[in-house]
Amino acid sequence: MTRTLNVARRRPMPLRLAEHLAVPVAIVVSLVLATGAGAAPISPSAPAADALPVVSLTFDDGNIDQLLGVDILDRYDLDGTFFVQSGALNTDGYFSTGDLTRLSAAGHEIGSHTTGHVDLSTISRDEAVRQVCTDRANLADLGFVTTSFAYPFAGFSESAKAAVQECGFSSARLLGGVESHEGCNGCPPVESIPPLDAFALLAPAQVTETWSFDNLKSLVVQAQAAGGWMPITFHRVCETAGCSSIGVTTQTLEQFASYLRDEAAAGRVAVKTVDEVIGGEAKPVRQGDWPVGQTAKDGNRVVNAQLDDWATGASAPSCWTPNTWGAHTAKFTRTADGGGLTVAVSDYESGSSSLMPNLDLGECAPAAEPGAVYDLSATYASTTATQFAVYLRDARGAWRYWDSSPWFDPSASASTATWTTPPVPADATALSFGLTVFSNGSLTLDAASMVGSGAVEPTPAATPTPTATPVATATPVATATPVATATPVATATPTATATPTATPAATATPTPTATPSTSATSTPTVTPKPTVTPKPPVKPKPPVKPKPPVDPKCTKPWPVHDAGHHHHHTSWGSYLNPAGTSSYDPYPKHSFSDGGSTKHGSPSKCKPPRWW
C-alpha cells in the first residue's frame, strides 16, 4: 500500500540566497500543450540575465563527525543535504534520530542513501526496491520525508534507477560525471538546471583528504564560468588531517564555507539543498508493499548452501560475502573443485575473517521467526579453532551481532560443526552466520545449513540506549571493543565509507579442548564483525588498543576489473590484487596489497587505489 503524508511545500530559500535558476547549456525541449492535440510546441524560456550558478553541499553516509561540518555550515548560514542510511542510525559512529531532528530544524535537508549502504548495481531489482523503499519508509516513520537520493558507491544501473523512481524520490545523485582537477576530461563542467536526468545527477568526483581549499574553490569558479549546478560531495569531517582517506578537515571546510558565504552575499553564487534545486512536491511514501524475498520454509534456508553457484569473475559464491575486521591479512580463495572457499589468515593481531550469507533485506539472508530456534551446521576443514558468529536483522532492515557458539577443534579432513541457537528475539526477521578464523591459520568451507528446530517464547528485543549527541568540537576517536560481558550488547554498525573502527590487540589464542564446553562463561569466545555489521564484544579479555600494521607495503599495482561504463563516463567495478586471487571495492575500506593478499586495517602510509 501507499501512505500519503501531509507534507508542507518545501520551505522557500532564505532571502540571503534568493536568486534565479540558471540553464548553462542550450537544451531545446519541445513541449506539447495538454490543452489541445494540435497545440504548437514551445521551448523553455531563456535564463534571466542575472541568473546565478548554484552550489549544493552534500554529505554521504551520516557519520557522526559530520556534526563538525554542520556547526561550520550553521556558522556561515549555509544549508546542506545529508544522505543517511537508516540502518545505521543510533549506532556508534553515526547520527542519532536527535541529530537528524537538529539538522532538519536548522534548515538542512535529510536525504536517503539506502538502508544498508548497498551498491544497487550489484543486486536484483527486488532487493534494490527493498533497500531504497525501506530506507525512505524508515525515515518517514521518524518524521523525515525524503525526496533526494544518492547512489552508494555511485553504483548506477537502469534497474537501480527504476527502483529509486518506484520508491517515490524526486532525484538521485551520481559521482564522477563532472570535470574536476581529478579528471573526467571531456565531461561537462556542471550539471544543468533543470538536469537532463534527475535520477542520474552529474557531480564531480568525491572530495578526498588530498583536496585543498583551492580545489574546492575551483569548482565554484568553474560553475560561475559555465552557469548551472555544482553538487559537491563530502563524507568524513576531520578535526585534523588523516582521519579518513575520504575526509575533509574542518580547517579546509571552514575556509570554503567562508568563501561561499562571501560569494553568495556578493550575488555571484547561490547555495541550495538538492531538494531546493529540483523542486516539486514530495511523493507518497510506500509502506511494505514490495516483494519480501526469502520467507520461512521447511528444510535448509541457506541459499546456495553448497557454495557451487558463482557468478562469472566473482570472488565469492553467489549470496555469500567475505567479511573481515581487525588487523590481519586475509586471503579468500576458491577451492580447486569450485565448490568451496578457503579463508587464510596471517600476520594476525586482532579481529577475524569469515564467509557468511549476505546481510541483505531478503534476496539471500535466511528468514527467521521470533521465538524460533535453529540448528546451524557447516562442513569445514581448518588448521585452527573456529566458531559460529550469528547476526540478526530487525524489522527496520538493520543488522546487529547477536550470539556466537562454543569453539570447534581444528580438523585436517572434512568435519561438521553443529550448534543450536537460543530462541530468536522478538524483533528478528532474518539471520546470517558463519565460521570465523580469529588467529593465524586457514579454514575451508564447503557447505552450510540452517534448519528450524522448534519455537519457544521469543526473547524480548533489547531496548536500545539513545545515542547522545556529541559536542562537535573534535573529530570523534574510533572506539575500542566494549568490555566483555556474558551476553554481548546488541549494537549495529553498518559499513559505510568510514575508516575501520579501532580493534583490540591480538591475544594469544588458547588451545581449544577436544570437546568444547557449551557454557558461555567457561569457553573463551571471540566474536567477529563483518565490515557491514557492528563489532560485538570480545570474550573474555578486556579491550586494549590495537597495534597498527607493521611495515605495510603499497608498491604493488592493483589492476581494475572494470564492470562497465555508464553514459556519464564513470567507471565502476572492483580491484584485483596482483595474484588475482581476491578483490575489493576501494571506496569504503582501507585495504592494500601485501604479498598478493588483501591487507585490512588502518595503515598510516597506504591509501586504497583511486576509483575515478
Query: How confident is the model at residue 460, as a pLDDT?
Result: 55
The band of 51, judged by pLDDT with boundaries at 50, 70 and 90, is confident
Indicate if the pLDDT at residue 562 is higher than 90.
no
Structural domain harbouring 331:
292-460+484-547
Report the CATH number at residue 39: 3.20.20.370
Look at residues 225, 259, 286 and tell me which one is the last residue of a structural domain. 286
Inside any domain, residue 504? yes
Query: How confident is the model at residue 508, as a pLDDT?
Result: 40
Same-domain pairing of 226 and 177 = yes
| CB of 385 closer than 8 Å to CB of 468 | no
Indicate if the pLDDT at residue 40 is higher than 70.
no
Query: How confident is the model at residue 587, as a pLDDT?
Result: 37
399 residue type, one letter: W
Same-domain pairing of 354 and 309 = yes
408 or 27, greater pLDDT: 408
31 or 199, greater pLDDT: 199
Indicate if the pLDDT at residue 448 is higher than 50.
yes
Rg from Cα positions in the chain: 25
Query: How confident is the model at residue 417, as a pLDDT?
Result: 98
598 or 182, greater pLDDT: 182
453 or 197, greater pLDDT: 197
pTM above 0.85, yes or no: no
| CB of 319 closer than 8 Å to CB of 303 | yes
Alpha helices in 242-357 (DSSP H): 250-265, 274-278
| CB of 373 closer than 8 Å to CB of 430 | no
Q: Which of 9-18, 23-32, 36-45, 71-80 has the highest mean pLDDT?
A: 71-80
Query: How confident is the model at residue 457, as a pLDDT?
Result: 54
For the stretch 138-181, pLDDT in tens is: 999 999 999 999 999 999 999 999 999 999 999 999 999 999 99
Same-domain pairing of 276 and 319 = no
Quote the percentage of the chain above a pLDDT of 90. Answer: 64
Inside any domain, residue 19? yes
Same-domain pairing of 316 and 275 = no
Quote the percentage of the chain above a pLDDT of 70. Answer: 66
Inside any domain, residue 540? yes
Indicate if the pLDDT at residue 551 is higher than 50.
no
Q: Which of 401-415, 511-525, 539-553 has the highest mean pLDDT?
A: 401-415
Same-domain pairing of 237 and 305 = no
Name the pairing type of β-strands 148-150 and 247-249: unpaired
Same-domain pairing of 393 and 539 = yes
Look at residues 286, 309, 327 and tell me which one is the last residue of a structural domain. 286
Q: Total domain count for the chain?
A: 2
Query: How confident is the model at residue 454, as a pLDDT?
Result: 72
Residue 410: closest CA among 434, 389, 441, 432:
441
Other CB atoms closer than 10 Å to residue 165's CB: what's the count? 16
Backbone angles phi, psi at 135, to 5 degrees: -65, -45
For 239-260, letters b (16+ CB in 10 Å) and e give: beeebbbbbbbbebbbbbbebb
For the stretch 206-227, pLDDT in tens is: 999 999 999 999 999 999 999 9
Indicate if the pLDDT at residue 196 is higher than 70.
yes
Least confident of 76-90, 291-305, 413-427, 555-569: 555-569
Q: Residues 342-371: what's their mean pLDDT?
A: 97
For the stretch 503-542, pLDDT in tens is: 333 334 333 333 333 333 333 344 444 434 444 444 433 3
Query: How confident is the model at residue 524, as a pLDDT?
Result: 39
Inside any domain, residue 563? no
Mean pLDDT over the full length of the chain: 77
Other CB atoms closer than 10 Å to residue 298's CB: what's the count? 7
Q: Alpha-carbon distance 432 to 463, whole Å? A: 21
For the stretch 87-146, pLDDT in tens is: 999 999 999 999 999 999 999 999 999 999 999 999 999 999 999 999 999 999 999 999
Same-domain pairing of 405 and 456 = yes
523 or 311, greater pLDDT: 311
Q: Residues 481-504: what's their mean pLDDT?
A: 36
Angle, helices 97-105/66-75, rounded to nearest 10 degrees:
20
Indicate if the pLDDT at residue 261 is higher than 80.
yes
Query: How confident is the model at residue 455, as a pLDDT?
Result: 60
Same-domain pairing of 264 and 328 = no
Dihedral angle computed from the Cα positions of residues 191, 197, 198 and 201, in that order, rounded to the nearest 10 degrees: -40
